Structure formats: C-alpha cells, structure tokens
Amino acid sequence: MKVWIDQDLCTGDGLCEEIAPAVFTLLDDGLAYVKEGDKIFNSPGGAEGLANIPDGMLEAVVESAEECPGECIFIEE
Ligand code: SF4
C-alpha cells in the first residue's frame, strides 16, 4: 500500500506526524509530506510523491487519513 498527501489542502496542523511519524513529516513550509526512512517526497509532492507504507504502519496511516482535517491523505493499492 502507498500513501500521498495533497499539499494544496493540508492545514499544517501536524496531526498525521503525531499519529504516524515514521510516514509523515512537516517541513519548513508548514505542510506535511510523506516519507520513506530519510527520503521525503516533497519534490514533487502531491500525487507524484507516493511513499510505500512500512509493514505494521497501515493502521496508523488509515487513522491519520481519517483524522486529517484537510482530508488530504490518500491511500492507494
Ligand atoms: S493531518 Fe492532514 S492537514 Fe494535518 S498536517 Fe497532516 S496532511 Fe496536513
């Protein structure tokens, strides 16, 4: 499973990073991005910045997507 964020809709509240810090990170621009280890998908972000969800993290990623106030976390097969 993979995950991406639509930064155009991100409010920058950081909920996703609180729930799943291994997958989401806030950058200096105040927006959240997905990551794989040290690799942050911010160039490009959006739908072109798809990160693999690590084993065992799917539940936290789903919770992040459900809680996300911007409704901008998208999970794909
Ligand atoms: S929870 Fe959603 S709106 Fe909040 S920082 Fe993460 S992606 Fe952005």
CATH number where 34 lies:
3.30.70.20
* Contact assessment for residue 74 and residue 34, using Cβ atoms and an 8 Å cutoff: no
Q: Is the CB of 45 under 6 A from ligand 1?
A: no
User: Which range marks the domain in which residue 18 is found?
Assistant: 2-76
pLDDT of residue 40: 98
Q: Which residues of 28-41 are buried (b: 16+ CB within 10 A; e: fewer)?
A: eeebbbbbeeeebb
Domain count, the chain: 1
pLDDT on residue 73: 98
Q: What pLDDT is recorded for position 7?
A: 98
pLDDT (tens digit, 9 = 90+) per residue, 34-77?
999 999 999 999 999 999 999 999 999 999 999 999 999 999 99
Round to whole Å and give the CA distance between 53 and 61. Answer: 8
Q: Report which ligand 1 atom has the smallest distance to the Cα of 5.
A: 7
Ligand 1 site, residue 34, Cβ cutoff 6 A? no
29 Cβ contact partners less than 8 Å away, ≥ 6 residues apart:
none
